[in-house]
Amino acid sequence: MAPKRISTTELRKQNRNRVFRIIYEADAPMTKQEISQKLQMSLPTVTQNLKELLEEQVLTYAGTEESTGGRKARLIALNKNTYFSVGIELSPKHIRFIAINLKAEELAFECVECPFRNTLEYRKTYAEKLELFLDHFGLSRKRLLGVGITLPGVINEQEGMVEIAPVLQLRQMKLSLLTEVIPYPTFVQNDASAGGVAEWWNYDGPAAMAYVFLGKGVGGALMLDGKPFVGIHQRSAEFGHMCIETNGKKCHCGRNGCFEAYCSISCIGDDLGISLADFFQRLEEKDPWIEQIWDGYIDHLAIAIHNIHIILDCEIVIGGSLTPYLSKYMPLLRSRLREKTFFPDEERYLHLGRCSDKANCIGVALHFIDAFLKQI
């Protein structure tokens, strides 16, 4: 069968995207001659596409190349702050807002204390606070690509429902209730899936990566070639409800022995009546009671990480608000992992997340950045 011919319109679109992407991915500004050579594209075609992209202000001139005797060539770079997107994370006690530019760099961040409630008043609250956030940081709505909302629950996009969110005590909630209060393009995503997108982006996109989110809830994402693998019923990588102790502790989901019941950050914070910072301060001071709790936490975390790796055999990234504290204890975690496996590579596949507790916000905002990069 003869290959399908590409229309002139599609070819122009592809050329435009190639010109944009080579500058987007470049480490330094480029001349149009360099772009032409690297893309093996005619200089007139490059010039026309650059003209359009410069007029749209997604590219900008960045000085001139050093002279070699003739006329200095103008350098062209990404205008990374031309457009931005916003991520909103809804959690049991807080609402987080983040704005990121076209390179997924943080432009603004705010965390507001506001307990979750399944009410119109609550939804109006985060919509109003979004507007205040944009105003406070001088973010132009004309440059806003869209607003992503993320929360800890099973999201069924096809049915337009939050099927269940145990830590928020939600079941069968319409996604439209979350988005109808926001007058911009919107997108709703599970928090761990969003975090997985952010960490995949920051780790330069391994072919396969499992993301384990440790927060008030425990969740996860399986990233395959840059996209979350959601499974047949949008429940893939719900690591938090993997049983790691038969007839173990009661979980928010109503079952016993879940990973979340043993490795939620509440286990070493709220449940003890102390903050995470207090817990790790007392751990540093070698408080025997705290050391015993931490030893059990690390052991259960190692069991879960080992189970995930032995099934998926891929890179694993741990993210969430625990990551700033966990760095010092990675040797202990790796040691526990080596005790549980006969594979020789336990030192290499496990990584700490780079986005800390902002990963979920960043990841859901990246939905609009990714869409923009594909269509430009």
Per the prediction, the chain carries an average pLDDT of 91
Share of the chain above pLDDT 70, in %: 96
Please compute the mean of the pLDDT values over residues 123-136 and round it to a whole number.
97
Check whether 68 has a pLDDT greater than 70.
no
Torsion region of 226: left, alpha or beta (phi above 0 gives left; psi -120 to 50 gives alpha): left
Please compute the mean of the pLDDT values over residues 4-27 and round it to a whole number.
89
pLDDT digits (tens, 9 = 90+) for 132-168: 999 999 999 999 999 999 998 888 888 889 988 888 8
The position carrying tokens 């916003």 is 86
Q: What is the pLDDT of residue 305?
A: 95
Provide the 3-class DSSP secondary structure of residue 35: helix
Q: What is the pLDDT of residue 61?
A: 93
Within 10 angstroms of residue 328's Cβ, the number of other Cβ atoms is 11
Q: What is the pLDDT of residue 115?
A: 94
Q: What is the pLDDT of residue 320?
A: 87
Helix axes 276-284, 288-312, angle to 10 degrees: 110
Please compute the mean of the pLDDT values over residues 92-110 and round it to a whole number.
96
Please compute the mean of the pLDDT values over residues 322-333 and round it to a whole number.
92
Q: Is the pTM of this model over 0.75?
A: yes
- The structure tokens listed for 165 are 């969110």
Q: What is the pLDDT of residue 283?
A: 96
For 208, the enclosing helix (H) or strand (E) is strand 208-214
Residues 6+ apart with CB under 8 A from 25: none
Check whether 36 has a pLDDT greater than 60.
yes
Specify the DSSP class assigned to residue 96.
Answer: E
Specify the DSSP class assigned to residue 246.
Answer: T
SS (H, E, C) 127-175: HHHHHHHHHHCCCCHHHEEEEEEEECCEEECCCCEEEEEHHHCEEEEEH
Provide the 3-class DSSP secondary structure of residue 257: coil
Q: 264 vs 218, 219, 249, CA distance in Å? A: 6, 10, 12
29 vs 23: CA distance, rounded Å: 7
Share of the chain above pLDDT 90, in %: 68
Q: What is the pLDDT of residue 69?
A: 59
Check whether 3 has a pLDDT greater than 70.
no
Check whether 32 has a pLDDT greater than 80.
yes
For 90, the enclosing helix (H) or strand (E) is strand 84-90
pLDDT band at residue 47 under the 50/70/90 scheme: very high
pLDDT digits (tens, 9 = 90+) for 237-257: 889 999 999 989 998 888 999
Classify burial at 111, counting beta carbons within 10 Å of its beta carbon; exposed 0-12, middle 13-18, buried 19 or more.
middle
CB 149 within 8 A of CB 127: no
Q: What is the pLDDT of residue 187?
A: 96
